[in-house]
Amino acid sequence: MGELANQESAAPTPREIQETWPATVSIPIAAAAFGLSRSHAYELVNRGEFPARVIQVGQRYRVVTASVLRALSES
């Protein structure tokens, strides 16, 4: 749970994302950037409607950080 744990409770700014996030992050971390709950984020992933690019690595989902920044800049 150490991955950017403080990010899950407050929406990070695009600058914070760009400067501190790795190339990919977990669904809950990315969800925080969009103001989404963990459960709603996973629902969107399962429907193929998450607002950023989601890739599957093994049995885990990862969200591409660049796509989070792109989606936030479009909104």
CATH number of 42's domain: 1.10.10
| Beta bridge partners of residue 64, listed in sequence order | 24
User: Which element (helix H / strand E) includes 4?
Assistant: none
**Residue 62 maps to a domain:** yes
Would you call 42 helix, strand, or coil by DSSP? Answer: helix
Residue 9 confidence class, pLDDT cut points 50, 70, 90? low
**Residue 56 maps to a domain:** yes
**Residue 30 maps to a domain:** yes
Structural domain for 18, as ranges: 9-74
**Residue 3 maps to a domain:** no
pLDDT (tens digit per residue) in 16-52: 999 999 999 999 999 999 999 999 999 999 999 999 9
- The whole-model pTM stands at 0.85
Structural domain count of the chain = 1
No. of H helices and E strands in the chain? 4, 3
Q: Which residue has the tokens 């890739």?
A: 55
